[in-house]
Amino acid sequence: MANNSPTRRIWVLIAIIWLGTFLSCEKRSTKQIDPELASSGSAEITAQLVEIPGEFPANDFYNYAYVFKYRVLEVHRGQLNGGEVFVAHYNPLKPRLAAGDEFSGKIGGNLERFRSGQIHRMALEEPLDTYWMGGIIDKYFSQHGVRYWAVWTNRVGK
Amino acid sequence: MQGGWSKDMVGLRISVRFALFLFVSSLIAPMKVSSLGVKDTQLVAEVRNKGWIAFSARTENGDWDLFLMRPDGSRLSNISNTPKLNEMGGRFSPNGEKILYRQMPMEKEFAHDQWGAQGQLVIAHSNGANPVSMGAPGGYPWASWGPDGKQIACLAKQGIQIYDLASKKLIRSMSRKGIYQQFFWSPDGKWFCGPANYSGERWTVVRLDAITGEVNPVSNFQNCTPDWFPDSSQLIFSNRPANQEIVDGGKMAASVGERPDAGWTQLWRADGAGKKRTLVYGEDGRHIYCGAISPDGNYVLFTRSPKDGVGLKNDGAPIGLMRLSDAPVIRGDSIALRRLISRSNEGPVLDLPAGWEPHWTSAQVEVPGGK
């Protein structure tokens, strides 16, 4: 077969189209967002966990929400200012996917354990009291600021 | 023969001494044994006909049913008898004609502190007859009788909601100001109470003005299961003081799987403003919960669980009944507690059947049968 035959040109064209489609899909998948993040809560942010101010009590007898302080890196949805925000997580000793129950409502995400400095992408609701009726551990009580309720929490990066 | 005494004389001397010993012993021993017995008997006689106590208890079937008993523990009667359902949180209406409680399938577990938001609300005659379910599971959470029995106040995430029972209409809403469970309307209708998130502390028992919405703390740090005195001026509640002295190296706590420094929950009272806090009952080795005052304000019921969580995983906890005028009562060795409270009594305390969340009415309830 000659190098410039029509059949060869067709195969080259097919290969180019396929390669282009493949690269395009790769690009989309790296930017693909967890649909739960996009569809949960009234706000969505990526933020860095500033610190863990105290020990998490065991869940032997009681459920509770624990307020964390985050540094906002990006606001994806909702009316949030940058800077720092306070976010309450339900029973933080538990992986997010296992944390939800009949008292918390929907809770989820791929975050397994909370560590200071982690970056989380979260779907949030507020005010906290409307979403959680139970004990709240808030070491930042004296600091003003809305307390958000984390509905879905994914870890970003390593 | 010694010292001039014959054998018979020696024998007589011994017999006389022994007789004297027996005589003196007969004076002392029955006083020790029967004084506690007499006091218990007196208390039994005092309370026997003072109405009825409702409480939840686990049946042989393994489910939780609603029971009534006389305050002395007699006339025990299962008034719900639902093998496939659990009932809990029975509360008599102010006139004692009705009782409300939560009900849910046996397969589901009660949360010992969040039960008021579980299952369906049911209202029945106070002997359990004609039960009527209200709303969906989770509806009317923490329903509490209003002063005339025609309304209930409920504690929901969105706030306090007051309903007219006849029409089921929502009459009024207000902020719950951090209260999150174990919510009760005062007999005079002027206040609400419950554990709350208050000033950065959870488990603060607060009093909330039912009209103005103003809230004040009654007791900070590790409090729960509050309830009202009949005159609405005082509250009974459970409190676990911080930094309790560990005198046994933590053995007692370890024996029930708890941390040595966890401490023991006690029963306290205070006025609505949180002043005049006094110990009512304490017992190291027991967690005291579910305080409930008698309709005449003279007695108090409570549960005594060896393990935290009111014994819900087992069969509940033994219910105790004592006179408030005998307070503070400290039972058991309770070495650390006795060091803190210089004057206390041992009782008497009636030990009633094991159960959970007792409530007392002075009404004469028609209870068929009963043990």
How many CB atoms are closer than 10 A to CB B311?
Answer: 22
Which residues in chain A have their CB less than 8 angstroms from residue B203's CB?
Answer: 135
Contact between residue B218 and residue B268 where contact means Cβ atoms under 8 Å apart: no
Pick from B286, B318, B324: which is nearest to B303 by CA? Answer: B318
Which residues in chain B have their CB less than 8 angstroms from residue A130's CB?
Answer: 157-158
Cβ–Cβ gap A61/B181 under 8 Å: no
- Using CB atoms, pick whichever of B118, B200, B308 lies closest to residue A138: B200
Sheet containing strand B266-271, edge to edge, reads B223-228, B234-239, B266-271, B278-282, B329-330
- Using CB atoms, pick whichever of A130, A135, A141 lies closest to residue B180: A135
Q: Which residue of A has its CA nearest to B258?
A: A60
Q: Which residue of B has its CA nearest to A142?
A: B200
Cβ–Cβ gap A137/B202 under 8 Å: yes
Report how far residue B56's alpha carbon sits from residue B159's, in angstroms, rounded to the nearest whole number.
Answer: 27
Cβ–Cβ gap B157/A102 under 8 Å: no
Interface subset of B 170-199, CB within 8 angstroms of A: 176, 178, 180-181, 195, 197, 199
How far away is chain B from the Cα of A85, in angstroms, using its nearest Cα? Answer: 17
Q: Which residue of A has its CA nearest to B156?
A: A133
How far away is chain A from the Cα of B258, in angstroms, using its nearest Cα? Answer: 10
Interface subset of B 92-121, CB within 8 angstroms of A: 111-114, 117-118
The number of helices, as runs of H, and strands, as runs of E, in chain A is 4, 6
The parts of chain A modelled with pLDDT lower than 50 are 1-2, 26-30
Contact between residue B89 and residue B120 where contact means Cβ atoms under 8 Å apart: no
What ipTM score was computed for the predicted complex, to two decimals?
Answer: 0.85
Report how far residue B63's alpha carbon sits from residue B106's, in angstroms, rounded to the nearest whole number.
Answer: 6
How many CB atoms are closer than 10 A to CB B50?
Answer: 18
The pLDDT value recorded for residue B36 is 37
Report how far residue B22's alpha carbon sits from residue B17's, in angstroms, rounded to the nearest whole number.
Answer: 9
The pLDDT value recorded for residue B37 is 64
Q: Which residue of A has its CA nearest to B113?
A: A62
Pick from B363, B359, B362, B365: which is nearest to B100 by CA? Answer: B359
Report how far residue A134's alpha carbon sits from residue A123's, in angstroms, rounded to the nearest whole number.
Answer: 20
Report how far residue B77's alpha carbon sits from residue B54's, in angstroms, rounded to the nearest whole number.
Answer: 10
Cβ–Cβ gap B202/A129 under 8 Å: no
Cβ–Cβ gap A133/B309 under 8 Å: no
Which residues in chain B have their CB less than 8 angstroms from residue A60's CB?
Answer: 308-309
- Using CB atoms, pick whichever of A62, A137, A138 lies closest to residue B113: A62
Cβ–Cβ gap B157/A62 under 8 Å: no
Contact between residue A34 and residue A152 where contact means Cβ atoms under 8 Å apart: yes
Q: Which residue of B has its CA nearest to A60?
A: B309
Half-sphere exposure of B108 (CA within 13 A, CB side): 19
The pLDDT value recorded for residue A12 is 82
Cβ–Cβ gap A62/B181 under 8 Å: no
Report how far residue B242's alpha carbon sits from residue B262's, in angstroms, rounded to the nearest whole number.
Answer: 9
Angle at B214 between CA B212 and CA B216, to 5 degrees: 150
- What would the 3-class secondary structure string for A101-158 be? CCCCCCCECCCCCCCCCCEEEEEEECCHHHHCCCEEECCCCCCCCCEEEEEEEEEECC
Determine the residue among A128, A131, A133 to mutate to test chain B binding: the one whose Cβ has the most chain B Cβ atoms within 10 Å. A133
Which residues in chain A have their CB less than 8 angstroms from residue B200's CB?
Answer: 138-139, 141-142
Cβ–Cβ gap A129/B176 under 8 Å: yes
- Using CB atoms, pick whichever of A134, A139, A141 lies closest to residue B180: A134
Q: What is the DSSP code string of B272-300?
A: TTS-S-EEEEE-TT-EEEEEEE-TTSSEE
- Using CB atoms, pick whichever of B112, B157, B309 lies closest to residue A133: B157
- Using CB atoms, pick whichever of A61, A102, A135 lies closest to residue B202: A135
Report how far residue B236's alpha carbon sits from residue B293's, in angstroms, rounded to the nearest whole number.
Answer: 8
> What's CA B224's distance to the chain center, in Å?
12
- Per-run averaged pLDDT (10 residues), chain B, 371 residues: 45 49 40 48 96 96 95 96 96 98 93 93 98 97 98 98 98 98 98 96 96 98 96 98 90 86 95 97 95 98 87 79 98 92 94 95 86 49
Question: What are the Cα distances from residue B218, in Å, to A3, A51, B262?
Answer: 92, 33, 22
Residue B139 sits at the chain A interface (C-beta within 8 Å): no
Residue B315 tokens, joined: 């069969």
The pLDDT value recorded for residue A22 is 56
Cβ–Cβ gap B117/A129 under 8 Å: no
Chain A to chain B, count of Cβ pairs less than 8 Å apart? 46
Question: What are the Cα distances from residue B233, in Å, to A126, B102, B156, B189?
Answer: 36, 28, 25, 12
Q: A21 CB contacts (<8 Å, ≥6 apart)?
A: none
Q: Which residue of A has its CA nearest to B117?
A: A103
> Tokens 């970003």 label which residue?
A156
Cβ–Cβ gap A141/B158 under 8 Å: no
Q: Which residue of B has its CA nearest to A135?
A: B202
pTM score, whole prediction: 0.86
In 3-state terms, what secondary structure has residue B111?
A: coil
